Structure formats: structure tokens, C-alpha cells
Structure 1
Amino acid sequence: MTNVQFVVSSAWLIQHLHDPQVVIVDCRFSLADPQLGRNQYQASHIEGAYYLDLNLDLSSPVGEHGGRHPLPEPQELAEKLAAIGVEFQKTLVVAYDDSRLAFAARLWWLLRYLGHEQVAVLDGGFSQWEKAGYPVTDVIPSPQKASFVPEVRPELVVDREVVKNRKDLPNVVLIDSREGDRYRGEREPTDKIAGHIPGAVNYYWMEVTDASGSLIPITEHQKRWQPVESSEEILVYCGSGVTACANLLSLELAGIHTGKLYAGSWSDWISY
């Protein structure tokens, strides 16, 4: 997995831990306990890693529409990235979490949305890093100064209107990334209404990794997306636009570049 663009291994990262061209970002988070990730980071993290919070940094405040995790304002996120030393289109950002890429993939997608392709996720996340015996610390790194002027790529994202108007076209596929029982409407732990957007097919985001949090082999990503690979447009959603990013990463690893994020996702869809 180490040579694949968008993914680095712990073994690669330990070799590049002090590389000035690499910035590590801890994205650990818990939807059930929003303070947990930050607390875990403060207790122990990969040396040199900065923390970005899903709610405070990687999302905007929640409104009536837009879902539970609206996209952050590009300029605000750009300033936060500059303050941790990310030089636009130069620095390699390595994102990790401990949730099978649920939150690291969100940062991976956001950086590409801002026009910064130099971003990878850490395969296996924090627990694999620890398991390998690599160093952790509780030392918080100092703020940095860099220049990050985003070049937003609006073509990577769609809103409710676009989904409504395009989802039933012959060359468009709509992907629901949630668990099968949520997709089928048998269980809904978070949102007010159960079910899925009419016409969506279900690809559970957790199938992108194995039980240990490591990405499945590239050939498996390719096989997984074979039924939809020839689509002109693949619109991907989940509950709030976070875990859908794991599927978008999987599509890219499979060599399919037609994936777009419905940022508001199910929580936006049902707000109308």
C-alpha cells in the first residue's frame, strides 16, 4: 500500500517524521462524545502531529439546512492549515484517526476540495502506529507560519438540487455509504427520518478497510466498484457528509475519478 498516492504506511511515516515537507494531522473524533478525540490527542499522539476537530475545524456551524456537518468555510480552513505549517500545493499532509478513516478521509477530501492534492491518509491509523511500537508524545507542537491560498474545486461537491435533478439520469449513480440497516430504514440512530434517497445503491463505507483499520488491497477496491466504474458521475452521501469521504477515497484508489460528495447528505435531504 505504501507507494499508492493518497496512502502512507506507518513504516513510511516513521522515516519522514521530521521531514519539513510533511505535516501530520490527528483527526480522531467520536460522534457520541465530541471531546473524546481532543482528549485522546492531548494525552498521546504521533510526534509532531497537530489536531483538527471535526466539528470545530472540518465543518461549519449547523443551520436549518446543509446537514449535521456542513463544509467548513474554505478561507477559515485555509488559515488553520497555514497555522500548522501547510504550504499550499507543497506540503504533504498525512491525516490519521482511529475510526477506520472516517475522519481522516474527511480531511483528505477537504484538502483536495481546496485544490491541495498533496494529502494522504495513514494506513491503519493511530492504533496500528502504536502497535508497531512507534513513538507517541503528549507534547503539543507550536503554531507555524505558511501560506495557503485555496483554489476551491466546486466540481467535487453537489447539493440537494443537483442530486434531485441528476440521480435518475442513465449515466449517474447515487451511493449511500451508511450501514445496510440504516440504508434500508430498519434502524436510524441519529436522524429524524429513516430510509434512503430514492434510487441510491448501498456501499457501506467500512468495507474500505478491514477490521484492523487497514485499507483493503487496491485490487479489492477495483472489484468493489466494478458495477459503477463506467458511470459518468458517482454522487456519494452518508448521514452528514463525513464517512462518505471514505468511499470517495476508495473510488480514487480504484482509479475512478468521477466521485462527488453530496456534502449535506441524508441529514440535509430530510431537512426539506
Structure 2
Amino acid sequence: MAKNWISPQDLHARLEDPDLRIFDVRADLMDHGLGRRSYLEGHLPGAQFLDLETDLSGPRGVHGGRHPLPDPERLAVRLGELGVSECSDVVVYDASGGSFAARAWWLLRYLGHDRVRLLDGGLPAWQQAGYALTTDIPTPAPARFVARPRPELLASLEEVRAAGHDPQVALIDARAPERYRGEVEPIDPRAGHIPGAINRPFAANLEAGRFRSEATLRARFADLEDYRDRIVYCGSGVTAAHNLAVLDELGISARLYAGSFSDWASHPELEVRAGAE
């Protein structure tokens, strides 16, 4: 049984568990209201909504990327309002293969809460299994969630700069290959990747929207085990968490550069490289 994701069947069997908390993390980077509208139209029974832009991100600045990390204490208060305590088993999902839900997964881990999993296949897999959606909005009793941040899970801008010159540190870009190579850039003002980065697109972790087998995932990331350190980034610290969930599943430690490419690209003095490494 996987540590970091759960099947629709196993989740369905636990719906009456009083310690279970389910969160819908559907989002759209171009239409920030789409996730909440989709939630209101129908969601998993017992699911509450977490907003990528307001709950799982902090305010934007000149630097720091498009989705800065939220203040840990503020997020802890929000989770407590939604009924999450240290005894809660949390499941997060979206309709995009876990690309947004992984941000919630990582943030809970960052705050010290290990009892969190992704719904494998998300809402589409739930429906394909024949399970119903609801428009009922749950109101669990508030709880006390204590944030215990783990700064060791983060990499700073300076550490990322140094990683490009250190052969013992793997710098991993989780974006699509065409964005990594700088052929297209739909969001950020500069196109390309951080010098020294290798490309491991998060989407290749999936087959038909579900996580690939452990053997396949291990083969995909086996070369990373030889490095002293591993730092993962994407466009803004969201889909990189998908790779981090897989690496953690495989027992390979890695850190997040939270500002990711959107932070790096906001510094005009920093090189952005096109093509493949």
C-alpha cells in the first residue's frame, strides 16, 4: 500500500471515519475562481475546499514567485477552522492528476503533519469507480492545529544558485519539456530553465491520470539516488510537490525551491538557459 496516495476504493471505505478530513484543491492558474465554482457544483462527500490562491499561498511581491508560501501560523489557523487536528487523516484531491492537490500535501508535511495522502486519480477516478458526488458542504467542529514547520524541506534562492555549480546536487525542473527548453512560456516573462537543472516533468509520474507503479517510478528517478542533495522546482512551487510526493514515496529525500522559476526569472541578473542541458 502506498504511503502518499490512496485509491478511491480505500477512501470510499473510510468515509464514515470521524478522523477523516477530505479537501478539494481544484484550481486553474488562468481562472482563479474555477476551483471554487467546480467545488460548489459537486465534490466528494465530506470534502471541504482549499483555495490555492488564498489558503495555500501568501501575498505576492516583486520576488518570491507567483505562489509564495503562506504564513505557517495563518495556514494552521485555517486548517483548525476546517476541523484538522494532529489526529486527523487528511486526503487531498483535484481533477488534474494531483498537480494542485500535491501543494496541499506538501504544505501539510511542511507544517509537521504526516497523516496526509493524495487521492490517486482525483475526482475523475472517484467518478469512474462509480461513486457519487454531493453539493452538501460539511461543517466539522473546529479543532486545534499546531504548526511545526520543517525548514529543512526548503531550499533558498542562494542554495539553488550554488546547486547549478555543484555536481553533487541535483536541481530538478518539474515543468513540461517545452517550458523547460524555453520553447513556450505561457505565464512567466522569461522562458527557459535555471542553469544546471535537469527535466523530470511531473506529468510523467502518471498514466491515465493515476500514479504509475512503484517499479516504474523508481526506474524514472533511480539516477537521483546518487546525489548528496536534491532540489525540485516548477513554475511557482505547485507541481514540483508532485515530484516531491513521488520521491518521498521512494524514500529519496528532496527539498522544494518554493519560489521556483517565477522567482528566479524575477531577478534580471540571474541567467535563464534555453534548450536541454
- Residues 194-213 of structure 1: CA distance to partner in whole angstroms, max 9, x if unpaired? 11100000001101111x31
Mapped partners of 1:6, 1:245: distance in 2: 12
Q: 2:53 aligns with which of 49, 52, 55?
A: 55
In the alignment, residue 243 of structure 2 is paired with which amino acid? N
Q: SS state of the match for residue 239, structure 1? A: coil
1:241 alignment counterpart: 237
Q: 2:199 aligns with which of 174, 197, 202?
A: 202
Q: SS state of the match for residue 175, structure 1? A: strand
Contact 1:47 1:139 in 2 (8 A): yes
In the alignment, residue 54 of structure 2 is paired with which amino acid? L
2:128 alignment counterpart: 131
1:189 alignment counterpart: 186
2:64 alignment counterpart: 66
Mapped partners of 1:144, 1:164: distance in 2: 45
TM-score under structure 1 length normalisation: 0.96
- Residues 217-272 of structure 1: CA distance to partner in whole angstroms, max 9, x if unpaired? 11111101111112121100011110001111111122212x10000000000111
Mapped partners of 1:123, 1:95: distance in 2: 10
In the alignment, residue 34 of structure 1 is paired with which amino acid? H
Contact 1:160 1:269 in 2 (8 A): yes
Mapped partners of 1:50, 1:75: distance in 2: 20
In the alignment, residue 163 of structure 1 is paired with which amino acid? V
Tell me how far 1:143 sits from its aligned partner: 4.5
1:269 alignment counterpart: 264
Contact 1:222 1:255 in 2 (8 A): no
Contact 2:232 2:244 in 1 (8 A): yes
Give runs of aligned pairs for residues 20-39 of structure 1, distance below 5 A: 20-39=18-37
Q: SS state of the match for residue 247, structure 2? A: helix
Structure 1 unmatched ranges of 5 or more: none
Greater shift, 135-144 or 22-31, is seen at: 135-144
Q: 1:167 aligns with which of 164, 168, 184?
A: 164
Contact 1:219 1:254 in 2 (8 A): no
2:107 alignment counterpart: 110
In the alignment, residue 265 of structure 1 is paired with which amino acid? S
Tell me how far 1:144 sits from its aligned partner: 2.4
Mapped partners of 2:137, 2:200: distance in 1: 38
Q: 4+ residue stretches of structure 1 with deviation over 3 A?
A: none
In the alignment, residue 59 of structure 1 is paired with which amino acid? S
Contact 1:221 1:253 in 2 (8 A): no
In the alignment, residue 228 of structure 2 is paired with which amino acid? E
In the alignment, residue 226 of structure 1 is paired with which amino acid? A
Q: SS state of the match for residue 118, structure 2? A: strand
Q: Given the alignment of the two structures, is residue 224 of structure 1 paired with residue 220 of structure 2, yes or no?
A: yes
1:77 alignment counterpart: 75
Mapped partners of 1:157, 1:27: distance in 2: 22
TM-score under structure 2 length normalisation: 0.94
2:91 alignment counterpart: 94
Contact 2:163 2:171 in 1 (8 A): no
Q: SS state of the match for residue 229, structure 1? A: helix
Q: SS state of the match for residue 17, structure 2? A: coil
Structure 2 unmatched ranges of 5 or more: 268-277
1:18 alignment counterpart: 16
RMSD in angstroms over aligned alpha carbons?
1.0
Contact 1:103 1:242 in 2 (8 A): yes
Contact 1:82 1:144 in 2 (8 A): no
Q: SS state of the match for residue 174, structure 1? A: strand
2:252 alignment counterpart: 256
Contact 2:237 2:257 in 1 (8 A): yes
Q: SS state of the match for residue 66, structure 2? A: coil
Tell me how far 1:165 sits from its aligned partner: 2.1
Contact 1:24 1:49 in 2 (8 A): yes
What number of residue pairs does the alignment pair up? 267
Tell me how far 1:112 sits from its aligned partner: 0.5
